[in-house]
Structure 1
Amino acid sequence: MKRYLYLWHRWLGIFLCLLMVLWFVSGLVMMYVGYPKLTQREHLAHLPPLSLEGCCVPLKQVLAATGEKAAPASIRLTTVAGEPRFVVRFATGAVAIDARSGKRIDSVTPAEAVAAAQPFAGERAVHFQASMQEDAWTHSRALDGDRPLHRVGLDDGTLLYVSGRSGEVVRDATFTERTWNWLGAWLHWLYPLRGGGLDRWWSDAVIYLSAAATLMTLLGIVVGLLRWRFAAPYRSGARSPYKGLARWHHIGGLLFGGLALAWIFSGLMSMNPWRLLDSAVPLNLAPYQGGALQADAFSLGPEQAVSRFNAMGLPVRELHWRLLAGRGYLLGVDNTGASAVLAMDASAPQWGLDEADVLRAAQAIRPEDVPTVERLTAYDFYYYARAEHSMTGHLERPLPILRVRFNDPASTWLHLDPRTGALLGRMDEGQRTSRWLFALLHSWDWLPLLQHRPLWDGWMWLASLGGLLICLSGTVMGWRRLRGRRPVRVSKQTRMHPSSV
Structure 2
Amino acid sequence: MMKNFKVMKKLKKYTYLLHRYLGIILAPIILLWSFSGLVMMYVPYPKLAEVERLQLLPEIVDFSCCNADFYEQILPVNIQGLSIEMLNNEPIIKLESTRSGNTSYHLNSQTLLAEIDQQMALSIAKAALPSGIESIENIEKIEQDQWTVYSKYNKHRPLFKVSFADEESSQLYVSSKSGEVVQLTTAFQRNWSWVGAVTHWLYPTFLRKHTSLWYWLVIWLTIFSLVLLMTGVWLGIKQLKKRKNKPLSPYRGMRLVHHWGGVIISAILFSFLLSGLLSMNPWGVLESKRFSTDSVLGKQAGRLAVIDSLTNLPNTLWQTGFVSLKLSPWNNEVYWLAADTKGAVIRYDKNFSISKLPQTELTAAGNKLSGGADITQGLIWQEDEYYYAHKDNIELPIWKVERVNGESTELFYLSPSTGEMRKNIDNNGRIYRWLFKALHRWDFSQSIRQRPVWDFSLVPFMLFLILFSFSGCYIAVQRLRSKF
What is the TM-score of this pair, normalised by structure 2? 0.89
Aligned position for 1:349:
354
The alignment partner of 1:419 has SS state of coil
CA contact (8 A) 1:288 1:362 kept: no
Q: Structure 1 471/2 Cα, relative in aligned 2: closer, same or farther at 3 Å?
A: same
Q: CA deviation at 1:485?
A: 5.8
Identify, as 1 or 2, the structure richer in helix.
2
* Deviation per residue, 1:31-74 (Å, 9 max, x gap): 1111111112211122222113223465x8458537x66x3432
Given that residues 73 and 90 in structure 1 are in contact (C-alpha distance below 8 angstroms), is that contact kept between their aligned partners in structure 2?
yes
Query: 2:419: which partner in 1?
Result: 421
Change beyond 3 A, Cα 1:477–1:100: same
Q: Deviation per CA, 1:403-447: give whole Å up to 9, x if none.
A: 112235752211100101111011011111111111111111232
CA distance in 1 between counterparts of 2:299 and 2:357 reads 19
Please state how far the C-alpha of 1:196 moved relative to its aligned partner: 7.2
Mapped to 1, the partners of 2:95 and 2:329 lie a distance apart of: 15
Q: Describe how 1:262-273 pairs up with structure 2 within 5 A.
A: 262-273=271-282
Query: Could you say which residue in structure 2 is the equivalent of 1:290?
Result: 298
Residue 459 of structure 1 is matched in structure 2 by 457
Kindly indicate whether residue 337 of structure 2 is the aligned counterpart of residue 325 of structure 1. no
| Distance in 1 between residues matched to 2:297 and 2:137, nearest whole Å | 42
**Contact (CA 8 Å) 2:408, 2:427: kept in 1 or not?**
yes
Name the CA distance, whole Å, in 1 between partners of 2:65 and 2:73: 17
Secondary structure, counterpart of 1:398 in structure 2: coil
What do the CA deviations read for 1:457-498 (whole angstroms, capped 9, x no partner)?
Answer: 122221111111221111111122222269xxxxxxxxxxxx
**Secondary structure of the residue that 1:484 maps to in structure 2?**
helix
Give 1:184's aligned amino acid.
G
CA contact (8 A) 2:301 2:332 kept: no
Greater mean deviation of Cα atoms: 267-276 or 210-219: 210-219
1:30 corresponds in structure 2 to 40
Q: Deviations over 1:134-185 (max 9, x none)?
A: 1011112222232221111111221000112210111101111111112111
Q: Secondary structure at the match of 1:316?
A: coil
* Matching of residue 209 in structure 1 with residue 221 in structure 2: yes
Query: Equivalent residue of 1:449, what SS?
Result: helix
- The match for 2:287 is 278
Aligned position for 1:14: 24
Q: Would you say 1:251 and 2:260 are equivalent positions? A: yes
How far residue 104 of structure 1 moved from its aligned partner, in angstroms, is: 2.7
Q: Distance in 1 between matches of 2:67 and 2:158?
A: 27
Q: Is the 8 A contact 1:305 1:342 kept in 2?
A: no
Letter of the 1:431 partner, please give it.
Answer: G
Deviates most, 94-103 or 457-466: 94-103
How far apart are the structure 1 equivalents of 2:310 and 2:213?
48
1:376 and 1:399 in contact (8 A); partners too: yes
Per the alignment, residue 499 of structure 1 pairs with none
Q: Tell me by how many angstroms 1:112 deviates.
A: 1.0
Are the counterparts in 2 of residues 331 and 341 from structure 1 also a CA contact under 8 Å?
yes
User: 1:378–1:140: structure 2 CA closer, same or farther, 3 Å change rule?
Assistant: same
**Aligned equivalent of 2:170:** 158
Amino acid at match of 2:174: V
Structure 2: gaps (5+ residues): 1-10
CA shift in 2, pair 1:458/1:378, >3 Å: same
Query: In the superposition, relative to structure 1, how do residues 53 and 226 fare at CA in structure 2: closer, same or farther (>3 Å)?
Result: same
Q: Give runs of aligned pairs for residues 297-316 of structure 1, distance below 5 A.
A: 297-298=305-306, 299-301=308-310, 304=313, 307-308=316-317, 310=319, 314-316=320-322
Q: Distance in 1 between matches of 2:475 and 2:311?
A: 68
1:337 partnered with 2:337: no
Match runs of 1:123-138 below 5 Å: 123-124=131-132, 125-126=135-136, 128-138=138-148
1:301 Cα deviation from its structure 2 partner: 2.2
- Partner of residue 394 from structure 2, selected from 392, 397, 403: 397
Letter matched to residue 385 of structure 2: F
Separation of aligned partners in 2, 1:96 and 1:207: 41
Cα deviation, 1:269-307, whole Å, max 9, x if unaligned, reads: 11111111113x432313234263443233322763562
What is the aligned-residue RMSD (CA, Å)? 2.5
Question: CA-to-partner distance for each residue in 1:323-342, whole Å, 9 max, x for gaps?
Answer: 11212211111111111111
Cα distance change of structure 1 residues 429 and 84 upon mapping to structure 2, 3 Å threshold: same
Q: Does 1:372 align with 2:376?
A: yes
**Does the residue aligned with 1:475 lie in a helix, a strand or coil?**
helix
Match of 1:78? 85
Counterpart Cα distance in 1 of 2:256 and 2:126? 59
Asked if the contact 1:288/1:324 (under 8 Å) is kept, the reply is no
Aligned to 1:435: 433
Matched position secondary structure for 2:183: strand
More displaced stretch, 405-414 vs 199-208: 405-414
1:91 Cα deviation from its structure 2 partner: 5.5
Q: 1:178 aligns with which of 180, 190, 202?
A: 190
The alpha-carbon distance between structure 1 residues 302 and 267, as it changes in their structure 2 partners (threshold 3 A), is: farther
- Aligned to 2:123, which of 115, 118, 127? 115
* Counterpart code for 2:330: L
Greater CA drift, 187-196 or 132-141: 187-196
Q: Return closer, same or farther for 1:95/1:293 CA change in 2, 3 Å cut-off.
A: farther
Cα distance per residue 1:172-222 (max 9 Å; x no partner) = 011111111121111111112646774541111111111211222222222
Of residues 384, 404, 407, the one that matches 2:388 is: 384
State, as a whole percentage, how many aligned pairs show the same letter. 29
Secondary structure at the aligned position of 1:481 is classed as: helix
Report deviation, 1:250. 0.7
1:150 match: secondary structure: strand
Alpha-carbon separation, structure 1, partners of 2:421 and 2:182: 22
1:369 CA drift (Å): 3.0
C-alpha distance in 2 between matches for 1:3 and 1:184:
37
Partner residue of 2:480 out of 479, 482, 485: 482
Cα distance change on mapping 1:256 and 1:150 into 2, 3 Å: same
